[in-house]
Amino acid sequence: MSTPDLLLDPQLKYWVLLPISFVMVLVGLLRSNATYLLQPGPKLEEFKALREKQFLKRAACFRQNNGVLTKEEFENRKQYFTATLESNEFYAIVEDPNADPANPLTDPGMNDALMNMAKGNVMNYIPQTIIMAWVNYFFAGFVIMKLPFPLTDGFKQMLQTGIETPDLNVRYVSSISWYFVNLFGLRPVYSLLMGDLAAAELMNQQQQQQALPNIGGPGGPKADKLFKAEAENIQILTHKSIFDGITERVLEKYADELKAL
Amino acid sequence: MSTNDEIIYYPPSIQTNKQKLQRAQDIASLVLGVGCGILTLESAYGFVFYLAGITLTNGIFLTACCEGKPEKFFTKPKQEIFLEGLFNNVPGFVMMWCLIYALVKASS
Amino acid sequence: MATSSSTLVLYFVGILLLIHSGYSSYEFHKLSSLSHHSQDLPQDILLETLIGIVVIVIGGISSIENPNALSLNGELIIPEHKYLKPIQMKDSVKLNEKIGISDYEDLNSRLPFINIVKKRKEYDDFIKSSEQ
Nearest to A224 by CA among A212, A216, A233: A216
Of A95 and A256, more confident: A256
- Is some CB atom of chain B closer than 8 A to the CB atom of C66? no
| Cα–Cα distance, B79 to C89 (Å, whole number) | 22
β-sheet bridge partners, residue A174? A143
Is the CB of residue B86 less than 8 Å from the CB of residue C8? no
CB contact under 8 A, B60 and C58: yes
For residue A96, the tally of other CB atoms under 10 A from its CB is 7
Residues from chain B contacting residue C59 (CB–CB below 8 Å)? 27
B17 contact A CB<8A? no
Of A101-110, A170-179, B31-40, C35-44, highest mean pLDDT: B31-40
ipTM > 0.95 for the complex: no
Does residue A201 register a pLDDT over 90? no
Whole-angstrom distance, CA of residue B20 vs CA of residue C64: 6
What whole-number percentage of chain C has pLDDT above 90? 36
% pLDDT > 90, chain A? 7
Model confidence over C13-54: pLDDT tens digits? 999 999 999 999 999 988 888 877 767 888 999 999 999 999
The alpha-carbon gap from A61 to the nearest alpha carbon of chain B, in Å, equals 13
Q: What is the pLDDT of residues A105-128, one digit of tens each?
A: 566 666 777 777 787 788 778 888
pLDDT, residue A98, reads 63
What tens digit of pLDDT does each residue of A5-50 get?
777 888 888 888 899 999 999 998 888 888 888 877 777 878 888 8
Q: Does C64 touch chain A (CB under 8 A)?
A: yes
Q: Give the span between the Cα atoms of A245 and B4, in whole angstroms.
A: 14
CA-closest candidate to residue B9, choices C72, A55, A204, A68: A204
The enclosing H or E element of A143 equals strand A143-146
Domain spans of chain C?
5-62, 69-131
Confidence of residue B1 (pLDDT cuts 50, 70, 90): very low
Query: What global pTM score does this model have?
Result: 0.81
Q: Which amino acid makes up residue A135?
A: V
Tell me whether A4 touches chain B (CB under 8 Å). no
- How many residues in total does chain B contain? 108
What are the tens digits of pLDDT across the range B42-90? 889 999 999 999 999 999 998 888 887 888 888 888 888 888 888 889 9
Counting one residue from chain A and one from chain B, the pairs whose CB atoms sit within 8 A come to: 95
Q: B1 and A185 in contact by Cβ < 8 A?
A: no
CA torsion A179-C20-C59-B35 (nearest 10°) is 50
Facing residue for C92 by CB, picked from B10, B40, B105? B10
Is A220 in contact with B35 (CB distance < 8 Å)? no
Please compute, for residue A142, the number of CA atoms within 13 A of its CA located in the half-sphere on the CB side.
13
